[in-house]
Structure 1
Amino acid sequence: MTISLSERQQCVVVVGVGASQGIGAAVSRRFAQEGLKVYVVGRTLEKAEQIATKIKNNHGDAVGYCLDAEDPIQVQQLFQSISLSQEQLVAVIHNVGGNVPSIFLQSSLKFFSKMWHSTFLSAFWVSQNCLKIFQQQKAGTLIFTGASASLRGKPFFAAFTMGKSALRAYALNLAQQYKAQNIHIAHVVIDGMVDGDRVNKALFGLGRLARMTRGTGGLNIDAIAENYWMLYQQTADLWTHELDLRPHQEKF
């Protein structure tokens, strides 16, 4: 029996969830607070399931899911399973791509290719699959996590800038294409160091020291998640397609 769209359970997919104190985990928790089922998707099943379990312990609905977002077959299988479950996919958050510095003249083509696959190609596969569902539903929200590198390159981050700047151009292009179909697409520039496990535990704690000595304190992950929820809540009367988030001390 086919269930009408209004009767289906609403769900959200957050791709790129790793540390329990990270953007992906914070966004998963925020959407679950509103009664939405959250697919907590990451490369490591144990980490994804730990975050999903914490959400369920707080009376939320979540499931841990493991996949490589750079693998088109694995991404396709995830969204096919959601379609077969007859759930209503209301939002997808793409939060993939770590910042790895390198010296340009010492960087191999293999390294550049790997960074491009992580920061951009994974977004291509995710968007191709979820947009098909959104078109069928005639509604949906797709949010991409960007970075300072989306707007400007800095020394030692040529490879990261390549992927993130391509992602920004791609996201804003999709936003123009699909807004008339009631599909909201947004790109979020995370400008500054994030106050999460990835930074704080980097280089045996030196990452946390670097964050604190910069004087910005870092971007609060729960505040970031609140802004993602705000984007999802927007109506077609007025949509934000790009949002720039930074600590108040961070320079423009």
Structure 2
Amino acid sequence: MSIEDKSVAVVLGVGASRGVGAAVARRFAGEGFHVVLAGRTEGGLDAIRDEIRDAGVTAESFVTDATNAGDVERLMAHADSLGGGLRVAVYNVGNNRRGTLDDLDMAVFEKAWRENAFGGALFAKAAAWHMRARGQGTMIFTGATASLRARPPFLPFASAKAALRAVAQAAARELGPDGIHVSHVVVDGGIAGDKLFRAFPDRAKRAGEDGLLDPDAIADAYWALHVQHRSAWTFELDLRPYGESW
């Protein structure tokens, strides 16, 4: 279980075992990375860490509040001190917070902004500091349909996700010449994961097997972004079920 000279991947925003963060962590661990799982819930992180270790690869958990600068800086410094250093950083934070102009709770609006725009900027800044020193790295930000289209009742979520996309785009333009590939992934559709099945079981049933995105398939796309040749880097990638209307 030694990490030896393995490169390190950080995934911030790991919650459910059947979810995008955990799927991305498993994918990169399976490709030989030492994975640092980060999020707010220690018990959940540890459970997924143990799942990955049971597969014979290496992982560890690191409790982190994505909106706390000190937490994020410590996370990146720790990751870069391991094995071959920080090589991949995935930002998978941002719950779907709802509201219309009529019932808008400004505390909810601000929380959505902090989780996405503010947290995303903290993440990019901290990761870039370490990646620039090595002259290479990959950063991937998880977006949503709302990153591009806003409609009620998703005012807080859409404004926050659009802001995160702007953070990612500015980072991509700034860091590309330094050898750091920054991508933004628009996940356009429901994800066949624990969150959806628990919160909206009827929606999952209506969508059927082919109407939801498979977290493992999303993770495959993240890996494909990481291994792209730098002569043909992708900034933005759209992912949706083949039958999704768009």
> What is the root-mean-square deviation in Å for CA atoms of aligned residues?
1.4
Match of 2:141 in 1: 144
Deviation per residue, 1:17-72 (Å, 9 max, x gap): 00000000000000000111000111101111111111111011100111111111
Give the stretch that moved more between structures: 171-180 or 47-56: 171-180
Letter in 1 for 2:205: M
Partners of 2:211 and 2:244 within 8 A in 1: no
Deviation at 1:87, TM superposition (A): 3.7
Rounded to whole Å, the distance in 2 between the matches of 1:154 and 1:210 is 19
Aligned pairs for 1:32-47 (under 5 A) are: 32-47=29-44
Choose from 238, 243, 246 the match for 2:240: 246
2:167 matched to 1:174?
A: no
Aligned pairs for 1:192-203 (under 5 A) are: 192-202=189-199
Deviation at 1:9, TM superposition (A): 2.9
Partners of 1:90 and 1:140 within 8 A in 2: yes
Choose from 194, 208, 217 the match for 2:201: 208
Partners of 2:97 and 2:154 within 8 A in 1: yes
Deviation at 1:234, TM superposition (A): 0.7
Rounded to whole Å, the distance in 2 between the matches of 1:86 and 1:55 is 18
Identity of aligned residues (%): 37
Rounded to whole Å, the distance in 2 between the matches of 1:85 and 1:14 is 15
Deviation at 1:126, TM superposition (A): 0.8
Partners of 1:42 and 1:68 within 8 A in 2: yes
Partners of 1:115 and 1:163 within 8 A in 2: yes
Match of 2:26 in 1: 29
Deviation per residue, 1:100-149 (Å, 9 max, x gap): 22232211221110111112211111111000111100000000000000
Rounded to whole Å, the distance in 2 between the matches of 1:201 and 1:92 is 28
Partners of 1:212 and 1:218 within 8 A in 2: no
Rounded to whole Å, the distance in 1 between the matches of 2:28 and 2:79 is 17
Rounded to whole Å, the distance in 1 between the matches of 2:24 and 2:81 is 25
Rounded to whole Å, the distance in 1 between the matches of 2:185 and 2:126 is 20
Q: Secondary structure at the match of 2:238?
A: strand
Rounded to whole Å, the distance in 2 between the matches of 1:63 and 1:11 is 11
Choose from 157, 162, 166 the match for 1:165: 162
Partners of 2:99 and 2:105 within 8 A in 1: no
Give the stretch that moved more between structures: 86-95 or 29-38: 86-95
- In structure 2, the CA distance between the partners of 1:60 and 1:8, relative to structure 1 (3 Å rule), is closer
Stretches of structure 1 lacking an aligned partner (at least 5 in a row): 1-6
Aligned pairs for 1:97-136 (under 5 A) are: 97-136=94-133
Q: Secondary structure at the match of 1:118?
A: helix
